[in-house]
Amino acid sequence: MKAPRFAYEKPQSLDAAIRLLADGGDGAKLIAGGQSLGPILNFRLAQPELLIDIRTLPELRTVRDEGDAVFLGAGTTHAAIEDGRVCDPTRGLLSAVARTIAYRAVRNRGTLGGSLAHADPAADWVNLMALLDAEIVARGPSGERRLHAAAFVRGPLTTDLAADEIITGVSVRKLSGRARWGQYKFNRKPGEFAEAIGGFVHDPELGMARALVGAIGDAPYVVADAMRLDEPAMHDAVSRAGFADGTYEHQIHFAALKRATAQARGA
C-alpha cells in the first residue's frame, strides 16, 4: 500500500519545527528516521496532512555531559549508539540493547527520540529508559520540560508528550564502576519485536536497584526497589505486571527477568 497525499516540510531549526507542529494542530506529524511512521503511513493507519521532517536538525544531534548524566540528542540513531559513536553512560548497556533493535538497516535510520515518541510497548528504548530511570527532555512553545521515563509512557502508543512538544533528547544517569546490569530480550528471532524484556540494574554507589518487566503491551512495569529480588519476588512482579501465574506470558516474562537478573549478578 502507498501513503495518502500529505504536505512535507523540512524546517531548518528546532524552533521552526515547534512552530510548524503547533500551527499544524492534529494534522501535523513529526518524522525522523521514519522506521515506524513509514509503514504506518503506507498502511494508511495515520493520514497526516503535514509531515515535519526533523531527521537532520542539528539541535537533536547533540550529545553533552551533564555531570552526573549524559544527554543524548533525540536524533541519535540506534546505529550510532550501537557503534559507540556516542558516549554510553551505562557502561555498555545502551550499546548492547541498540545492537538488538530490529535490523541494521532500521538502526541506521531509526532514532532514539522517534522510538520513544512512538511508544510501542515492545520497543527497546521505551523499556530500557524506564529501567534506567532516565529523563526525557521535551520542548514546546512554552519551553522545556523533563519527564521521568518510567511515567512517560501512559499506554500503548500513548505518551505524556503534548501535541506541540518535541522530544529533544534523553538524559541518562552515569552508572558507576560498581554497577552491574543485565538485560534479556525474548523474541522469536533476532530483529523481531520483543515478546518479553527483562532488565535489572544494580548500582550501589547510586543506591539504585531496579528491575524491569517489559514489552507487556502497556507502559513498562518497573520494580524500583529490586535489591532483594528472588524468584518468588520475580513471579510476583510478573503477576503485578499483568500476567497471571500459569499463563504463557507469565512464563516468558519470568524467564526473561530471571535471565536478566542472573546476568547482572554474574550467575
Partner 1 sequence: MTQSARKGVGARLRRKEDERFLRGRGDYVGNIRMVGMLDVAFVRSPVAHARIRAVRKSPGLESVVFTIDDLTGVKPIVANSALKGFKSAPQHVLARDKVRQVGELIAMCVAPSRAEAEDIATQVELDLEELPAVVDMVAAIEPGGPRVHEEWSDNVVLETLVDDDLSTIRANAAIKVQRRIRTARQCMSPMEGRGVVAHYDRRLDQLTVHSAAQMPHINRAGLSECLGIDQGRIRVVAPDVGGGFGYKGILLPEEVCLGWLAMMLGRPVRWLEDRFEQLAANANCREHYYDITGYATADGRLLAIDCEAIVDSGAYSSYPFSACLEAAQVSSILPGPYRMDGYRCRTWSAATNKPPILPYRGVARTGVCFALELVVDAIARAAGKEPYEVRLACLVPPEAMPFVNITKKFFDSGDYPEALRRAVRVLDLPKWRERQKRGEPDGRRVGVGLAIFCEQGAHGTSVYHGWGIPMVPGHEQCTARLSPDGVLELRIGAHSHGQGLETTLAQVAHEILGVDPDNVRLIHGDTALTPYSTGTWGSRCMVMSGGAVATACKEIEKRVRAIAGKLMEVAGDDLVLEAGRVRVAGTDRSMSLAEVAHVWYRAPQLLPADVDPAGLETTAGYKAVRDSGTFSYACHACAVAVDTELGTIEILDYVVVEDGGTLVNPMIVDGQVFGGTAQGIGTALYEEMPFDAQGQPLASTLADYMLPGATEVPTIRIEHIETPSPLSYFGQKGIGEGGAIAPPAAITNAVNDALADLGVEMLESPITPRRLLTALAAARARRGAG
User: Quick one: 122 or 150, whose CB is closer to partner 1?
Assistant: 122
Contact between 8 and partner 1 per CB under 8 A = no
Would you state the cell numbers that stand for residue 50, as one nine-digit string? 503535514
User: Quick one: 3 or 162, whose CB is closer to partner 1?
Assistant: 3
16-55 footprint of partner 1 as x/- string (CB under 8 A): -----------------------x---xx-----------
Q: Are strands 143-148 and 135-140 parallel, antiparallel or unpaired?
A: antiparallel
Report the b/e string of 149-163 with b at 16+ CB within 10 A. bbebbeeeeebebee
Interatomic CA distance for residues 67 and 180, integer angstroms:
21
83-122 footprint of partner 1 as x/- string (CB under 8 A): ----------------------------------------
Contact between 5 and partner 1 per CB under 8 A = yes
Instruction: Figure out which of the listed residues 26, 67, 143, 189 binds partner 1, where binding follows CB under 8 A.
Output: 189
Interatomic CA distance for residues 171 and 182, integer angstroms:
20
Instruction: Figure out which of the listed residues 145, 251, 262, 263 binds partner 1, where binding follows CB under 8 A.
Output: 251
Contact between 190 and partner 1 per CB under 8 A = yes
Q: Give the amino acid at 234.
A: M
Interatomic CA distance for residues 184 and 199, integer angstroms:
6
Contact between 263 and partner 1 per CB under 8 A = no
Contact between 255 and partner 1 per CB under 8 A = yes
Angle at the Cα of 146 (from 143 to 147), degrees rounded to 5? Answer: 130
